[in-house]
């Protein structure tokens, strides 16, 4: 495509429809979007034809939504592109560690090949930003890290990405702090951790070391926290304190955070306020069979929420298809977010908070100057796209068509 061109006949949301003060639908309009150097250069009504000679791409009235953000995936773990295998039963997470360490090197495909297979799936589903965790441990060193880096480099210009240096087998337990530091020096933009109390056996030392590595390397933090109840809550409280002491506000995420489902009333308000004030975000994969954090409550209190896919066909789970829109739909169904406005709001959990309409029903996306990173959907509105898991014929990243094609919806 030319660096400047028109997207014609694009369906955009323009406001909510109300009845007695309640949102009962979404109004849309047909527009033409000028794309210039990867950004939205102009937006005009479809009633007016562009009077220049720039190329035109007819979108056939597909609904434009902001492209998606996959905030938690494991590109190094996936078996996509290799032979089918189900999960081996284990008695503990530590047995799972050992099985995975044996399985991955035994595969006929390379880490890079499998990572690229998954990247392609994520891109087709609409994700143009990927945050991937990569296991850092003694036996593998940084081999998997560099393989994933190479895979992502092959998609430069098609998506953006960030890598979490993730000590899956324990930062302390596997004695891999120096390896994690080295990963940060070589391009990892986040430091990870996992269950500081249960996996590492020392919550305080594990959290301190994770924060030290992050601050030394000017990296953000994304902690896997599966521990439920009081132990998980205590871990979150301590992480929050360390975040405040280090001045790392807005740079910390907790993935899974099952313990937040165990908060009582007064405690819930306090913790939600703490997370909101410190900018600590919560990432959930909406696992079936597990109690998840109270997403709607936390979001209403100002906590940033992201929905992610997590494991996709690997040694931990044979399930998962990389479709983040489907995962957001699961969240909405599970938590009763079934109204037009709540469904539309759910979209923000997979776009980094961007939605076409704000709570007041005012159009806030797209605007002139925004990146032309768009998922084109066969839906009448955001709410329908979430609820019905709409087809996505085309995906665009910064003005470049990176998946699919424009077809009549």
329 belongs to a structural domain: no
Model confidence at 266, in pLDDT bands (50, 70, 90)?
confident
Give the CATH number, domain containing residue 116. Answer: 3.20.20.140
Model confidence at 2, in pLDDT bands (50, 70, 90)?
low
Last residue of a domain, one of 269, 304, 319: 319
339 belongs to a structural domain: no
Percentage of the chain modeled with pLDDT above 90: 95
Last residue of a domain, one of 260, 292, 319: 319
Instruction: Please check whether residues 58 and 73 belong to one and the same domain.
Output: no
- Domains of the chain: total: 2
326 belongs to a structural domain: no
pLDDT at 151 over 60: yes
Instruction: Please check whether residues 208 and 297 belong to one and the same domain.
Output: yes
344 belongs to a structural domain: no
331 belongs to a structural domain: no
- Distance between CA atoms of residues 142 and 390, nearest Å: 39
pLDDT at 16 over 70: yes
* Paired tokens of 173: 């337990």
Give the CATH number, domain containing residue 23. Answer: 2.30.40.10
332 belongs to a structural domain: no
Instruction: Please check whether residues 44 and 86 belong to one and the same domain.
Output: no
Instruction: Please check whether residues 93 and 33 belong to one and the same domain.
Output: no
232 belongs to a structural domain: yes
The string of DSSP letters for 213-268 reads HHHHHT-EEEEEE---HHHHHHHHHHHHHHHHHHT-TTSEEEEE-GGGGG--HHHH
Percentage of the chain modeled with pLDDT above 70: 99
- Using CA atoms, how far residue 394 sits from 92, 369, 376, 399, in Å, is 42, 21, 5, 12
Instruction: Please check whether residues 152 and 23 belong to one and the same domain.
Output: no
342 belongs to a structural domain: no
Residue 122, judged by CB atoms within 10 A of its CB (0-12, 13-18, 19+), counts as buried
Q: Which tens digit of pLDDT belongs to each residue from 21-35?
A: 999 999 999 999 999
Instruction: Please check whether residues 77 and 224 belong to one and the same domain.
Output: yes
Instruction: Please check whether residues 247 and 387 belong to one and the same domain.
Output: no
Instruction: Please check whether residues 14 and 61 belong to one and the same domain.
Output: yes
Residue 218 main-chain phi, psi, to 5 deg: 55, 45
* Paired tokens of 353: 């908070």
Instruction: Please check whether residues 364 and 249 belong to one and the same domain.
Output: no
For 190, half-sphere exposure in the C-beta direction (CA atoms, 13 angstrom radius) is 26
Residue 301, judged by CB atoms within 10 A of its CB (0-12, 13-18, 19+), counts as middle
Tell me the whole-structure pTM to 2 decimals: 0.96
Model confidence at 265, in pLDDT bands (50, 70, 90)?
confident
- Distance between CA atoms of residues 315 and 51, nearest Å: 56
pLDDT at 409: 46
Domain span at residue 298? 68-319
Instruction: Please check whether residues 209 and 308 belong to one and the same domain.
Output: yes
Instruction: Please check whether residues 229 and 293 belong to one and the same domain.
Output: yes
Mean pLDDT confidence for 234-249: 98
Instruction: Please check whether residues 110 and 217 belong to one and the same domain.
Output: yes
Q: Which tens digit of pLDDT belongs to each residue from 44-84?
A: 999 988 889 999 999 999 999 999 999 999 999 999 999 99
């Amino acid at each position: 495509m030319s660096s400047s061109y028109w997207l014609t006949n694009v369906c955009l949301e323009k406001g909510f429809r109300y009845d007695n003060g309640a949102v009962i639908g979404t109004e849309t309009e047909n527009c033409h979007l000028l794309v210039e150097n990867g950004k939205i250069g102009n937006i005009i009504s479809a009633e007016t034809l562009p009077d220049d000679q720039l190329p035109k791409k007819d979108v056939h009235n597909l609904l434009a939504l902001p492209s998606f953000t996959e905030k938690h995936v494991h590109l190094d773990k996936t078996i996509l592109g290799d032979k089918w295998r189900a999960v081996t039963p284990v008695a503990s997470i530590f047995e799972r560690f050992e099985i995975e360490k044996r399985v991955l090197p035994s595969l006929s495909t390379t880490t890079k090949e499998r990572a690229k297979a998954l990247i392609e799936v994520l891109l087709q589903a609409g994700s143009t930003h990927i945050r991937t965790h990569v296991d850092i441990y003694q036996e593998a060193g940084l081999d998997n890290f560099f393989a994933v880096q190479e895979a992502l480099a092959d998609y430069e210009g098609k998506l953006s990405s960030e890598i979490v240096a993730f000590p899956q087998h324990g930062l302390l337990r596997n004695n891999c702090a120096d390896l994690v530091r080295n990963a940060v020096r070589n391009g990892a933009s986040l430091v990870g951790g996992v269950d500081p109390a249960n996996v590492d056996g020392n919550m305080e030392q594990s959290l301190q070391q994770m924060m030290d590595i992050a601050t030394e390397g000017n990296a953000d933090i994304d902690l896997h926290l599966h521990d439920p109840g009081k132990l998980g809550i205590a871990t979150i409280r301590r992480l929050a304190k360390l975040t405040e002491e280090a001045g790392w506000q807005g740079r910390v995420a907790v993935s899974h955070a099952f313990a937040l489902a165990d908060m009582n009333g007064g405690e819930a308000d306090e913790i939600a306020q703490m997370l909101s004030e410190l900018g600590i975000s919560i990432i959930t994969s909406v696992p079936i069979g597990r109690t998840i954090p109270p997403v709607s409550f936390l979001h209403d209190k100002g906590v940033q929420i992201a929905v992610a896919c997590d494991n996709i066909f690997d040694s931990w789970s044979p399930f998962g298809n990389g479709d983040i829109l489907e995962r957001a739909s699961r969240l909405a169904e599970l938590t009763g977010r079934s109204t037009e406005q709540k469904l539309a709001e759910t979209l923000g959990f997979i776009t980094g908070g961007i939605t076409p309409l704000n709570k007041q029903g005012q159009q806030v996306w797209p605007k002139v100057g925004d990146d032309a990173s768009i998922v084109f959907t066969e839906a009448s509105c955001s709410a329908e796209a979430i609820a019905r898991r709409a087809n996505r014929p085309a995906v665009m990243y910064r003005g470049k068509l990176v998946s699919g094609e424009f077809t009549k919806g």
